[in-house]
Structure formats: structure tokens, C-alpha cells
Amino acid sequence: MIPVQGFAGKSVAVLGMGRSGQAAARALQAGGAQVVVWDDGQAGRDLAEAAGLVLRDLTKPASYAGITALIVSPGIAHLYPAPHPAIAAAWAAGAPVDNDIGLFFRSFATDDWDGFATTPRVVAVTGSNGKSTTSALIHHIMAESGRPAQLAGNIGRGVLDIDPARDGEVVVLELSSYQTDLARAMTPDVAVLTNLTSDHLDRHAGHGGYFAAKRRLFAEGGPDRAVIGVDENEGRYVANQLSQGPGDDRVVQVSSGQKLTEAAWSVFARKGFLAEYRHGRQVGSIDLRAIAGLPGAHNHQNACAAYAVCRTLGLGPRTIEAAMQSYPGLPHRSQLVAERNGVRFVNDSKATNVDSAAKALQAFARIRWICGGLQKDGGLDALLPHLPHVAKAYVIGREAADFARQLPGIPAEICTTMAQAVALAAAEAEPGDVVLLAPAAASFDQYDNFEQRGADFIACVAAQIADQPG
């Protein structure tokens, strides 16, 4: 646990009793704060009472008497589409609003660090797609190279639940737009923007607000090094804003598909090969094609970002390459779950938006595509250039018929359920095909989350394979 600094003897309110809210309450108490909490749901309030926390209805303005700050869980809207009543009440009372990310950055460094031979470092990763894989890959490379490391944030443990830093440790944080949008302090040593495509538009009042939330990671305090994906205009904008000129190698530009040789420091992947350039000269390269845990161009972009971070932290190219070879991949992200009679079954349930699904479709030559779910704003047009890879679509979800109508030029069968889709795709697949779950939609019409959807796919695949000869 990271005891929160700066609130000893003061009263602090915590809104939301999910994972991050519970951890924030414990960490505040460990730092000497007096904590009151609230959750809109009875289950959350029951958890709080069972943990011995003091409940107070924070939606009432009178509840902020004596409150120094309000700490908000990331799932709670603080501005768009409308501020939560408790946040509006905190504003009216003049109580500063923050989140666990802000608490972490004000509390992680301690006097113990004065005795360390190597100062701990914090790497923060954000972006629309690939941030989980990039974060996990950085952590894996650090661990494989013998550096102490922890993984937290939007993946793994909550930021305040991690252990106090060890000598030379690297803490890797995956941060969502919900987390970067509200944190009052963000001072990572290395900050990463993987890419930017439209997502969470209701929460940020459009694409511009979403980008502004991501950009705060680079504007609030500023990292010592920035690794920026420049395949979109927003990334190019951030890279330009941070750079002091063509020779400034504090910004590492990253691309999947572009050859970047003019920047002071760049890492890019083309045709399966990663290349590192510094001041116009190639200084490193890796053949990514045989790394099983990183299939497809989108994962090659993630590899470039992770490679760049590890280089800024002092690792050599061969050390990084060796560690990448053993990277197992993350569940629900281009996860190979089975292979039978020449047919591969791949679980990319995390492809919850059109852009991430498009990247998954580019990774394989002939696909039996399981797709559908709760559609997001913007439609499916961005998928159309990649449909030639699809032999047939098997559409699930309550909106299956509408989803299928938006897939011109390919056979599409309305299956509705995962079990029906997997059974039909497995029966019709030919050697060399990939049965790919890449929904291009949220899971909430049928599942609690994308993990549950992916687990259902895995279970259905296992059942099909058990029934097949060979």
C-alpha cells in the first residue's frame, strides 16, 4: 500500500466503493486521514460498513462541512454528460476534487529514496488502443531483464494498492481517459501515448474532449521523456508541442507503417521489422514476425512503444528482444486459445471499438469473424476496408440484425449468442482460417464486461473442440 501524504489529521471524502475507491480509503487512513465514504449502490455501502468505514451521503451539500477534499472513482462522471450530484456539491462547498492517480503521484516518493542507489521510475501509458498490451509488455521486459517492476492502474492492481518502491524499481501504470481527466497531479518519468481514435465520446462530450483528457498526461507537470504514437494528427500535435526542435530527443516518435528517420529519436515497424533511429542513424532492430505474443501490425505498434520506453530506461536492444520472445500476451487481446485441424481460434474480446477491431482484422489473412454487441457512436465504416479478410461474419448481440446490415459485400449470419456463433464458425472453418472474436462493440448488452465475453468464447471453443474428431 502507498500511504497518502498530505492529509494527516484532515477529513477526506471518497465517492465510489469499487476497487480504486476502497484502496483510496485504506491508503488515506494509512496516511493519517479521517475518511468518510459514499456509494450510490447499497452493495457498495455494505462493503464500506463491513470494512469499518464511515458512511456519509455526499450528495448533500451539508456533508462537506470540514471536508478537505473529495476523491472520486474513475467510473463516476465528473463533468459530462453531467456531473455526479456529489461532485456538484463538492464544487459548491469549495472542496477540491481529485482521484487515486492524483493521490499516487503526490505520495509515491518518500524520504526512503535518499538511500537508494537508483531512483525508482514511473512509466504512465495512455491511448485508445494497445495501452494494456504496451503496459504489460514493458513490465514483462523489465522483469525479464532483472529490474524490479510493478504493474498497476487500469490493469492489475490499483495504484494505491502497490508496494512501496524498491531501489531501482520501475512502476508501470496504464491510465484511461477517465483517470487522466481528473487527476490533479501527474508527474511520470516517462509518458506514453499509443494512439488516438474516438471512444468514450459521451463521457468527454466528443472527440476533442477525449483528446484533451489524454493530453493532460503530458501537460500536468510534464514527463522527462515522452513516447508518442504519431500515426494520427493528435499524436503529431503532442509530439510537436513537447519538442524544442529537430534535435530534441526527449520525445521518441513511434509508428506502425511509417518510416521515421528525420526525428531525433524514433522507433517504427514496417513489414514486421522494428527499427530504432537516433539522429538519422539506425541503432537497433528486431524481427517481430516470429514473436507469438505480438501478432499483427497493431501489436507491432505496441512493441515499438514498449521498446522505446525500455530504451529510455537504459536497456539494450538485444536484452529487449530476448524478453519480447517470452511475452505470453494478455487474455482477451489477440489471445490464441486453441488450434484444431489447421484452424486457429483467437480471442480479441478487448476489441470493443471499431478501430481496435479493424486492427485485429488486419492481423490475419482469412477470418471467420465473430462480432457484434452494444454499438458505439460512429458506425462501422472504418471496418469496411478490412472486410476482404473476412470469409464470413457471425453476428452476436441484441443489435445483431442492425450490425449485420452494416457489413456489405460479405456473408453475415445472425447468430445472437456466442455458443451459436462459435459452433457455426467452427463447423464452416477450413484449414488456414482464423475464428476471430473481435466484436467492434461493447459487451454490456449480454455480458458484464469484455472479460466475461472473452471467457464465454473460450468456453464455447473448448466445447466445440471436445466434440470434434482429430
Which residues make up each annotated binding site? 127-133
**Helix, strand, or coil here: 11?**
strand
* Binding positions for ATP: 127-133
**Helix, strand, or coil here: 36?**
strand
**Cα gap 70→15, rounded to integer Å:** 7
List all residues 6 or more positions away from 82 whose beta carbon is below 8 Å from its beta carbon: none
CA terminus-to-terminus distance, the chain: 50
The C-alpha cell 511520470 sits at: 188
Nine-digit cell at 426?
Answer: 467452427
CB atoms within 10 A of CB 389: 18
DSSP 3-state percent helix, strand, coil across the chain (nearest 5): 35, 20, 40
DSSP 84-152: -HHHHHHHHHT--EE-HHHHHHHHS--GGGGG-SS--EEEEEE-SSSHHHHHHHHHHHHHHTT--EEEE
Residue 19 φ then ψ, to 5°: -60, -50
Q: Which amino acid is at 106?
A: R
**Helix, strand, or coil here: 418?**
helix
**Cα gap 237→398, rounded to integer Å:** 39
List all residues 6 or more positions away from 362 whose beta carbon is below 8 Å from its beta carbon: 296, 297, 298, 386, 389
List all residues 6 or more positions away from 119 whose beta carbon is below 8 Å from its beta carbon: 113, 168
**Cα gap 62→4, rounded to integer Å:** 25
List all residues 6 or more positions away from 332 whose beta carbon is below 8 Å from its beta carbon: 347, 348, 349, 350, 450, 451, 454
Q: 273-278 and 170-174: which strand pairing?
A: unpaired
Strands (E), 214-294: 225-229, 251-256, 265-270, 273-278, 281-287
**Cα gap 274→254, rounded to integer Å:** 10
CB 211 within 8 A of CB 234: yes
Q: For the CA atoms of the chain, what is the radius of gyration?
A: 23
Q: What angle do CA 301, 307, 310 make, to 5 degrees?
A: 145
